[in-house]
Structure 1
Amino acid sequence: MRHDGERGRGVPFGDPWMLRTAAALATARLRPGTLLVPVPRRRPRPRARQVATLDALSGGRVVLGAGLGGPVEGEAFGEPTNPRVLAGTLDEGLGPLARYWTGERVTHHGAHWTVEGAQLLPASVRRPRPPVRTGGLSPRDPDRAAELIAPYAEAGRRGGAGAGRGRGARRPARPVPRRVEAGPPAC
């Protein structure tokens, strides 16, 4: 299923977003998602629309795995492959993605993307947004993961179902660490 020359040549495969949609419509509990979507490879608005549409069709079950993508993917299409450039594009692209999913107008001026008052409707079903998971091996990856968790911790602090209702009420979320230490798995 890769576009890396000989290995995937001549092997038919479907569009991954269409296949996820089919799985979402055929099931009630499956969380359609991605192992890794190379966010830097596409502008944030079309990516946000893909995820919001799948989120609506699945009833709020979508999960987005976001990452840089491999260098082989970019080389085949003449796209940037420098990991620092891709990491900067990923970091910057995650902000507009999250804001698009609110349904409000988005204005963003960054090193890689510029957006002026664009709006994406319908907004995502999942609040505060669909879950975004990321990982990797660079020193920046644990910080990126902690930042992605922050909106969920904030939602927990404001209280969800049962907040402030005595026995059985949810406790506020603990503060999110600004730095998450990660290392190789223990043997």
Structure 2
Amino acid sequence: MGAVRAKRFLTGLMALSAAALGWSLAASPALSDQTGSASGLPVPRYVSLKSDRVNLHEGPSKDHRTIWVFLRAGLPVEITAEFEIWRKVRDSEGTEGWVLHSLLSGRRTALVTPWKKGVDSTLYDKPSTQSATAAILQPNVIANVRSCDGAWCRVWGDGFKGYIQQSNLWGVYPNEKIE
């Protein structure tokens, strides 16, 4: 199997595995060698919303119809494409559209288990399930990501801080390391 075919096969296999676990279907940055045409940054990548009111457009201009309005500052979104000052984004539910780049922040945030409605997640004092419980977080809580080692992320938010298993977050890629 050629190198390109092997990479496509592995990317597809990881996408299927990620889908089964409720993660984003986009390729992991480790497997993607694409960069944004406008920013030069990796695509796809996660960012967060700067404002508590962000219009999601059908296409990359204000002339395109607004298809959704995000009302939650700090919400993580995944940039999947770039066109001049516009970024195509996807949210945790798969909704896609275009937003102005000035409404996005490089600050990393993540949603706690948005795919597990009604099932809380444990935040630990240390990166171990044997550690003391720091908090219990409900699905869709926004957590600020301080660091990730590929298995655990150190997060904080309004009234909580600690470690959560990386697989319980939407807004970081599987095995992604953040310092």
- Where on the TM-score scale, by shorter chain, does this alignment land: which range? under 0.3
Question: Could you state the TM-score of these two structures normalised by the residue count of structure 2?
Answer: 0.28
Question: Could you state the TM-score of these two structures normalised by the residue count of structure 1?
Answer: 0.27
Kindly indicate which of the two structures has a greater share of residues assigned to helix: 1
